[in-house]
Amino acid sequence: MRAFQILLGAVALGGTTYSTCFSPEPANQICYNTDGATAQNIDLKDVKWIAGYLRHYENQQKKQGKSPFHEMPVDKADNCAEWTVAERGNVMVLAKLVGERDAAVTFSDIASTIHSNEKSLVNCGTAGGQMGVIVDKNSDLYKMKEFTERGFTTEGIVIKIVREP
């Protein structure tokens, strides 16, 4: 009887799309030179270039009437999948949805998360690292209908700087 219940449950869930991340990662900054982590040996010039590129890309998107947001809908996030945001040289910037709601952040906020001030990931040095997006909550972009009417949150996206495989 128990095997039948398990089989019935598996069949019932088979048609259901459920992509919530069951292994969420914290939003606090983690540098990959800490115990248990693997330093990435990345080129910081490439990190700086990617940050500039993301800011430029957002500006181009706005000029063309396109979205300034990096969107991560729950139904497409594939249970903790890491999406490539940008890459250059030996550096890859990844985004991972760890929240339970559709999330979106501006490309410039991703840029600020990787390279802006003493709180950004560039301070992990060549080791690389990860953290939640540093969101400019005062940005008028988050007041746009595109963001508000679609029910996005700015929480739940972790950005990672790693060495390209």
Domain that holds residue 129: 23-163
Burial class (CB in 10 A: 0-12, 13-18, 19+), 48: middle
Report yes or no on 13 lying in a domain.
no
Write the pLDDT tens digit of every residue in 59-89.
999 999 999 999 999 998 777 789 999 999 9
> CA of 104: how far to CAs of 42, 87, 90, 133, 148, in Å?
27, 20, 26, 10, 10
- How much is the pTM? 0.86
Report yes or no on 99 lying in a domain.
yes
Report yes or no on 11 lying in a domain.
no
Q: Which residue from 138, 137, 133 is spatially nearest to 156, judged by alpha carbons?
A: 133
Write the pLDDT tens digit of every residue in 92-149.
999 999 988 999 999 999 999 999 988 999 999 999 999 999 999 999 999 999 999 9
Tokens describing residue 139: 């940005």
The domain total for the chain is: 1
Task: State residue 6's pLDDT score.
Answer: 35
Report yes or no on 143 lying in a domain.
yes
Report yes or no on 114 lying in a domain.
yes
> CA of 131: how far to CAs of 7, 72, 84, 85, 104, in Å?
39, 16, 15, 14, 15
